[in-house]
Structure 1
Amino acid sequence: MSILRLFASSPFESLQELLEKIDVCVSHIKPMVTANIEADFDEVKNHFRLITKAEHEADVVKGQIRGKLPRTLFLPIDRWHFLEIIASADKIADAAEDLGYLLTVRHTHIPETLTPEFVNLMEKSLASYALVKEVVDGFGMLVDAGFAGPIAEEFVQKTVRIDHLEWETDKQMYKLTQHLFELENQISVIDIIMLRDIAREIARLADASESLGKKIRRVLAN
């Protein structure tokens, strides 16, 4: 075990615990959106309830991390950067919860004509999250490597790929929004507004994942 690993494993283990809670939130996004498409609003509410529970647990872990984070020189990265990583990770859980809120506060059904584009948007956002999770899951290797060298460069390239996935998500969001407004004579204005907001929350998962990736890349660049 390296000296960095010896003195600084605890905060990163706590980060893994936080990500486990966040991962539970994200794991309900696809089945929740699918339930909406199938007009199974009871199932939508069930997934939202589970997301809310996991998001609360993530907040508890986040508070514990902030309260226990050492102020010593033995933390292998800047304390402020680590806190930024925690805050960015938490926004992923927030995006999942906010999506669930929109899908339950009103029974706004995703119309069949928009289903492929919503699914495409969701898959792109989930791909962004999956890649940033892969990066965070590898923090143990980064700690052992002192956040430098070939391993660090490999993870930098992964964060660059997250940027590209987020850009792809933005393009899909634009395409979906265009199609949505083409339906203004077929569905209500309220439906259009709600569907646009739902799409934005789905895309926000990619935004939050990109933000977390950039925070990690900043650490690796130092």
Structure 2
Amino acid sequence: MGWIVGKKELEIVNLVGEHLEKIGETLLSLKNLLDAYLSAHTEHIDQLAEEVRKYEHEADIVRRKVERIMYGGAFLPNFRGDLLGIIEAADKVANKAEYVADVLEIEKPYVPYPLHAELRALLGVSIEAFEALKEAIKYLFEDLNRVAEFIEKTETKEHEVDGIERSLLRKIFAITDISHGQKMHLKDLVRSIADIADRAEDCSDRVQIVSLKRRV
């Protein structure tokens, strides 16, 4: 697997992959929750929100296991810190997904129907940003020559999310038949979903730095 040769290092690489899969499952569960919420299938909201929290918790468990093994001496100290930074930054994606799930389940913001499709698109592209990040991290261990390709894709998706976010905010504040409080509630929901892509891009910045270090 590229420059990874030690048994303990290989175990960590596999766990990093498992951690990223758990984050991906957290995001997929959030997508299912948002779809149900916008479709007014309220009988499933509690169950779907709990599923988001379950996968986020499982991601935390894997992250902590990686940290224990890393502090046990896997990898050289300079790379150890860099990799831990990547894992912690990726974990913030799952944390934000859990926050959005809490907003939907507990606060129950009113989302006017004309915003539904664009809100779904906002989350969909945010998930695509994370999927690109996941590939960048995978190639950090397998093929450094391909890392930049997926870092660029992460950035492209995050930029796309920015555009959808601005469009939604303009529409929200142009609506005349909902209160200012409802508009602020929607603003928080939109920005929190967009934060998923922002956090993916923040993590990709770390991946890029580590990739450059690996080449030296």
Task: Return the TM-score normalized by structure 2.
Answer: 0.89
For 1:120, the aligned partner's letter is A
Q: Which residue of 2 aligns with 1:148?
A: none
Q: Does 1:167 align with 2:159?
A: yes
1:4-19 pair list within 5 angstroms? 4-7=4-7, 8-19=9-20
Cα deviations across residues 153-193 of structure 1 (Å, max 9, x unaligned)? 3211210221121111112111110110001x211223212
Cα deviations across residues 77-128 of structure 1 (Å, max 9, x unaligned)? 6111111011111101101100101001122232111112212212221211
1:216 to 189, 201, 207: 207
For 1:158, the aligned partner's letter is F
Stretch deviating more after TM superposition (80-89 or 63-72): 63-72
| Unpaired runs of at least 5, structure 1 | 142-150
Deviation of 1:203 after TM superposition, in Å, equals 0.6
Task: Return the TM-score normalized by structure 1.
Answer: 0.87
Q: Are residues 62 and 203 of structure 1, via their aligned partners in 2, closer, same or farther at CA, if it must alter by over 3 Å?
A: same
For 1:33, the aligned partner's letter is L
Q: Which residue of 2 aligns with 1:107?
A: 108
| Unpaired runs of at least 5, structure 2 | none
Is the 2:136–2:150 contact (alpha carbons within 8 Å) kept by the matching residues of 1?
Answer: yes
Cα deviations across residues 49-103 of structure 1 (Å, max 9, x unaligned)? 0111111122122222112205648449611111101111110110110010100
Count of matched residue pairs: 212
Q: Which residue of 2 aligns with 1:129?
A: 130
CA distance in 2, matches of 1:77, 1:212: 18
Q: Which residue of 2 aligns with 1:155?
A: 147
What RMSD over aligned residues (CA atoms) do the two structures have, in Å? 2.1
Deviation of 1:134 after TM superposition, in Å, equals 2.1
CA distance in 1, matches of 2:128, 2:3: 34
1:86-105 pair list within 5 angstroms? 86-105=87-106
Q: Are residues 112 and 61 of structure 1, via their aligned partners in 2, closer, same or farther at CA, if it must alter by over 3 Å?
A: same
Is the 1:159–1:213 contact (alpha carbons within 8 Å) kept by the matching residues of 2?
Answer: yes
Is the 1:21–1:55 contact (alpha carbons within 8 Å) kept by the matching residues of 2?
Answer: yes
Q: Which residue of 2 aligns with 1:195?
A: 186
Stretch deviating more after TM superposition (76-85 or 156-165): 76-85
Q: Which residue of 2 aligns with 1:34?
A: 35
Q: Sequence identity of aligned pairs in percent?
A: 25
Q: Does 1:207 align with 2:198?
A: yes
CA distance in 1, matches of 2:27, 2:126: 10
For 1:174, the aligned partner's letter is R
Structure 2 residue matching 1:4: 3-state secondary structure: coil
